[in-house]
Amino acid sequence: MNEGKHDAAVDGPIELDKPGRRQWWSVIAIVLAAGIFAQAVFAGLMLSGIEWAYAAHRVNATALIALALIAGVASVVTLRRIAQGPRLGLLLLSLAVIVILQSAVGRFSVEGANLMWVHIPLGVALVGLAMQAVTTTRRLGGA
């Protein structure tokens, strides 16, 4: 009965089926990018001697890890048949992995390891990767 519909979905990427889906993914990607940028602000505040900035940097890192992991897994599951969906899923999962790595490098640096030379450039790369995710959300469901 519905074989024609089922076959079309399996053949390749399909259009977004809900009008607001692209906007939600865009909001998620923008929140991740803003959170990553906020990390740089908190780091600058820490270097300026502002005491509360360390706690803000740590809490924001934890939130970024959780959001990136949840968004990455959700995008892989829900957008697998949407044009640009797999790309967004890969970007968000990559972002999650790199944020986890960045957090670990930061913790080792706090404990005395000489790793700031890795931590700072990795943070810059995260901003670029997050902006790539934002750009990809604008192409969801399209060519």
Domain boundaries along the sequence of the chain: 35-138
Per the structure block, which two tokens stand in for 114? 């000489």
The CA–CA distances, whole Å, from 1 to 5, 6, 7, 14 equal: 9, 10, 12, 20
Q: Is 114 exposed, middle or buried (0-12, 13-18, 19+ CB in 10 A)?
A: exposed
CB 127 within 8 A of CB 98: no
Q: Beta partners for 45?
A: none
Q: Model confidence over 119-136: pLDDT tens digits?
A: 999 999 999 999 999 999
pLDDT at 9 > cutoff 50: no
User: How far is Cα 139 from Cα 88, in angstroms, rounded to an integer?
Assistant: 10
Q: For 58-71, write each residue's pLDDT tens digit.
A: 999 999 999 999 99
Q: pLDDT, tens digit, for every residue of 97-126?
A: 999 999 999 999 999 999 999 999 999 999
Helix, strand, coil shares, percent, the chain, to 5: 80, 0, 20
Question: Reduced to 3 states, what is the DSSP secondary structure of residue 55?
Answer: helix
Structural tokens at position 8: 């079309």
Burial (Cβ within 10 Å: 0-12, 13-18, ≥19) of residue 128: exposed
Q: How confident is the model at residue 6 (pLDDT cuts 50, 70, 90)?
A: very low
User: Tell me, what amino acid is at 73?
Assistant: V
